[in-house]
Structure formats: structure tokens, C-alpha cells
């Protein structure tokens, strides 16, 4: 960890909230999660061991509440900053927190950008108050600093910057960043000697230090390299950078993502949507039979050629599961995998996964493709994850988009909260889509 990195400890007793915060922290370029706790006593002990720059402390912790824990930490570690957060807009509670010595006060519903601003400002020695409470706070008003004004731009600049002209594996030249995920970064590159465009996925450094993660990453590269399927990207090389970071090399897929297509057209009609998701099902059939889950299915990972041919990409985030039990045994590496807007309820809760989790993500993608909007939308990861677990996808957008009832039925079966109520395999979903296509053609 470099001297400029802000180390963070999360103290939160609700697993979904912790996961949401971990998602947010993964997107911040100079922030690193060093520990997490589920109660006040553990938070104090973890703080004494790790000495983090920042503690994100829930007020309502069990055993010892967050305000008391914050006071104890500040007494022992005066240089450690504490940001408390809560779901209640309680001014008196906020005043009690500041009297205990905390440095920031946030609401759980805050956006990722606001959380990043809070961390940066508090780390720089300033106080932070949730914007909803600033007008009622007894704390003196302050003029926004130049640091605060530039915080959002700094994040965008750092996240957008690539590593152009870097040579990887002595034969691949990096050209630009294609995307970033919880486990790694994908670059567009070119084979120096063959002038062949490629996509290169590199593991994040902190994960590259975990032998189990590296072994799994290598195994997945080997497994994916054996696939020869029109709806899958070919993986053809694996290596390790000079910095010790494993990478896999794939064919670069020319075309637009389904996400791009939705942004251009707004939404797709059922007759145009069905052929695309039939192709996605064909890809999933093959990888699921090989014991691999994708875990990050979304329109951005479905690439379309000009002829309408679809490829499922970004299997570098996938997870192997046992072919006999057909269940994923999640490791405790702490990595965050998936995109919150498309994650299944069981994925949000950190439970064991099987292919039905991918079916759920594909169903959310179908909903978005047919309506032009996501079923669950909120300002914070925490709220989105809770919606997947407890919320009901609204039917109004499907009605407004004139989605045929037969397609609506398929979508809702895919995104049922109960995995046993969904289509059990990609083949089952494929058969349902074929029947829907035939039915819609006969109605014309």
C-alpha cells in the first residue's frame, strides 16, 4: 500500500450494507479496505491492530454503539479519522457524535461520489456533514474548499486514465482502458508482432497477492481457452506482468454493447430482443455445463456485431462451481464481484450460487432491454442491494413499453426472488424464448 493510499475500516453489522460500501470503495482509486467489523468491540480491536486512516462507523452497532466506539478509538488513535453513518436524519444524534470527536456524519443513502468526497475531505483534516443535515447543523458553516470542489473531477480523471503504450508480456501493447471491475481492469491492446487487436484483463494488485485467487484466475483462463463457440470470446494467452500481476488475453470483439444500443434506441421490441437473449443462453449453456458461472451478466457484457451476432464477454470475473453439487463454494478472499444493479438476491447476501443466479441477471438485463430502464434504481449501492433482496420489480415500465404478456411472464420468472421458482437452466429459458417467438410471429 502506497503512502498516498487511504486505508479504511468498515464497522457495520448488516452484511448487505457492508457489501454495498465495499462496492463503493472498490471504485475509488486511492482508497483501500483493510478490515471490516460487525460490532463495536470488534471495530475497536480491529482499529488498534490495523490503524486505518478512516473508519466508516455505523452508529447502531451491537455490543458497543458507534458513538462510544468512535470515542474509544479517538482516545487511542488520535490520528485516525472516524466517519459515522446512520439511516436516521437526527440532528441531536449528529451533535452527540461530533461531541464524541467524530470527523464526519453521513447518511446510509448517500451516493458513492458523496462517500468519496467525505473520505477525501475528512482525510485532509476537514469536517463532513451529510448535505441533508447541513442547514440544521449546529456546526459552523464553512466555505467549500478547493479540494472538495475538485474531488469529483479528480475521481473521474484518475478512473479514466489508462496505461497507454505500456508493454505487457513483451508482446502486447496497451492502447486504452475498456472497463474496470471488482477483480481487475480490461484494456484494449495489440499484439506487437502480429498486429492483432486483443483484450487484456489484469488482476488487481491486492488480489494478485492471493495465491488462491491467482490459481482460480489461471484455471478459468485455461478452461475458457478450450471453448470454441460463436457466442463466446476466445481466450488464447495467460501470463504475469513484471509487477507480478496475472493477466489473460482474449480476442477483441468489435461492435457495440447492448448497453450502448439501449442508450441509442431507448428500448428494444420483444421481436428484436428475443434473438439476442437466445444467443446469450447458448453461451451460458456451454459455460454452465463446464462448471463456470459468469456472475456479472449485464447489457454492457453482451457485445453485438453490425449483423446482430452476440458474444458474451468478461468471463474473467467468473466463478467455478463443482460439477457434481453444481454449487459455488465462495472463498473468503474479500473480493467484490458483480454489478449491483444486476445481482441476484442470493448474490447480494453472499450466499452460495449456481446457474440460476446468472438466469436472474439475464432477466434483469431483459427487463432493461425491453423498457429502457432498470427495475431497481437508487442513489446508493446499499439501497439497490436491499431492493434486489426485498423489493418487487414494477410492472408499469413493461406496460408503458407495450411488452407482450408472454415476454413479461418470462422476465418475471427469471427475476423471481426464489431461485427454485426461476428457470433452472439456460436451456429452459431458451426453450421459453423460442416458444414466445413462435407465439408472437403467429399473432402478426
Distance CA 350, CA 177 (A): 29
Compute CA distances 310 → 73, 265, 289, 394, whole Å: 53, 17, 20, 28
Hey, what long-range contacts does 164-169 have (CB within 8 A, 24 or more apart)?
167/192, 168/200, 168/202, 168/239, 168/241, 168/247, 169/237, 169/239, 169/241, 169/247, 169/249
C-alpha cell at 134: 447541513
Q: Are 216 and 328 in contact (CB under 8 A)?
A: no
**CA-CA-CA-CA torsion sign (220, 283, 191, 256):** negative
Distance CA 128, CA 142 (A): 10
Task: Burial-class residue 377 by CB neighbours within 10 Å (0-12, 13-18, 19+).
Answer: exposed
C-alpha cell at 133: 443535515
Determine the 3-state secondary structure of 67 from DSSP.
helix
The residue whose grid cell reads 434483469 is: 364
Active site amino acids: 296
The residue whose grid cell reads 494478485 is: 208
Determine the 3-state secondary structure of 310 from DSSP.
strand
What are the two backbone dihedrals, phi and then psi, of residue 443, each rounded to the nearest 5 degrees?
Answer: -75, -20
What are the two backbone dihedrals, phi and then psi, of residue 150, each rounded to the nearest 5 degrees?
Answer: -95, -5
Of 312, 300, 308, the C-alpha closest to 257 is 300
C-alpha cell at 413: 420468472
Distance CA 124, CA 222 (A): 45
Q: Are 84 and 67 in contact (CB under 8 A)?
A: yes
Residue 120 among known ligand-binding residues: no
Cβ neighbours of residue 286 under 8 Å, at least 6 residues apart?
227, 229, 232
Q: What percent of the residues of the chain are helix, what percent strand, and what percent coil, each to the nearest 5? A: 45, 20, 35
**Which helix (H) or strand (E) is 224 found in, with range?**
helix 211-225
Residues at the binding site for ATP are 201
Amino acid at each position: 500500500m502506497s503512502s498516498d493510499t487511504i486505508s479504511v475500516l468498515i464497522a457495520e453489522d448488516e452484511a448487505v450494507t457492508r457489501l454495498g460500501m465495499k462496492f463503493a470503495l472498490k471504485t475509488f482509486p486511492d482508497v483501500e479496505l483493510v478490515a471490516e467489523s460487525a460490532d463495536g468491540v470488534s471495530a475497536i480491536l480491529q482499529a488498534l491492530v490495523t490503524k486505518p486512516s478512516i473508519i466508516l462507523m455505523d452508529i447502531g452497532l451491537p455490543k458497543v454503539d458507534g458513538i462510544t466506539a468512535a470515542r474509544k478509538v479517538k482516545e487511542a488513535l488520535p490520528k485516525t479519522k472516524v466517519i459515522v453513518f446512520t439511516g436516521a436524519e437526527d440532528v441531536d444524534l449528529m451533535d452527540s457524535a461530533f461531541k464524541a470527536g467524530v470527523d464526519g456524519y453521513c447518511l446510509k443513502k448517500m451516493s458513492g461520489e458523496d462517500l468519496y468526497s467525505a473520505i477525501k475531505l475528512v482525510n485532509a483534516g476537514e469536517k463532513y456533514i451529510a448535505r441533508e443535515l447541513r442547514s440544521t447543523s449546529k456546526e459552523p458553516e464553512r466555505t467549500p474548499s478547493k479540494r472538495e470542489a475538485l474531488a469529483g473531477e479528480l475521481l473521474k480523471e484518475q478512473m479514466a486514465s489508462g496505461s497507454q503504450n505500456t508493454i505487457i508480456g513483451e508482446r502486447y501493447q496497451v492502447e486504452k482502458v475498456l472497463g474496470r471491475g471488482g477483480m481487475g481492469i480490461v484494456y484494449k491492446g495489440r499484439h506487437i508482432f502480429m498486429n492483432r487487436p486483443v483484450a487484456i484483463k489484469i488482476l488487481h494488485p491486492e488480489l494478485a497477492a492471493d495465491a488462491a485467487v491467482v490459481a482460480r484466475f489461471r484455471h478459468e483462463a485455461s478452461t475458457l481457452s478450450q471453448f470454441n463457440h460463436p457466442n463466446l470470446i476466445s481466450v488464447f494467452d495467460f501470463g504475469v506482468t513484471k509487477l507480478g500481476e496475472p493477466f489473460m488475453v482474449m480476442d477483441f470483439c468489435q461492435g457495440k454493447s447492448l448497453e450502448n444500443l439501449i442508450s441509442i434506441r431507448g428500448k428494444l421490441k420483444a421481436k428484436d430482443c428475443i434473438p439476442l437473449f437466445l444467443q446469450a443462453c447458448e453461451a451460458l449453456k456451454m459455460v454452465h455445463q463446464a462448471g463456470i458461472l459468469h456472475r456479472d451478466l449485464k447489457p454492457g457484457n453482451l457485445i453485438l456485431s453490425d449483423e446482430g451476432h452476440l458474444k458474451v464477454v468478461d468471463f474473467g470475473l467468473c466463478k467455478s462451481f463443482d460439477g457434481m453439487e453444481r454449487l459455488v463454494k465462495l472463498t473468503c478472499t474479500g473480493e467484490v464481484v458483480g454489478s449491483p444493479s444486476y445481482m441476484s438476491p442470493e448474490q447480494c447476501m453472499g450466499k452460495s450460487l449456481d446457474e440460476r443466479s446468472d438466469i436472474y441477471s439475464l432477466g434483469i438485463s431483459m427487463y432493461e432491454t425491453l423498457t429502457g430502464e432498470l427495475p431497481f434504481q437508487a442513489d446508493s449501492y446499499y439501497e439497490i442491494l436491499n431492493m434486489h433482496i426485498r423489493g418487487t420489480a414494477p410492472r408499469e415500465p413493461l406496460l408503458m413499453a407495450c411488452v407482450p404478456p408472454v415476454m413479461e411472464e418470462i422476465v418475471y420468472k427469471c427475476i423471481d426472488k426464489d431461485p427454485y421458482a426461476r428457470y433452472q437452466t439456460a436451456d429452459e429459458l431458451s426453450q421459453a424464448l423460442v416458444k414466445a417467438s413462435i407465439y408472437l410471429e403467429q399473432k402478426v
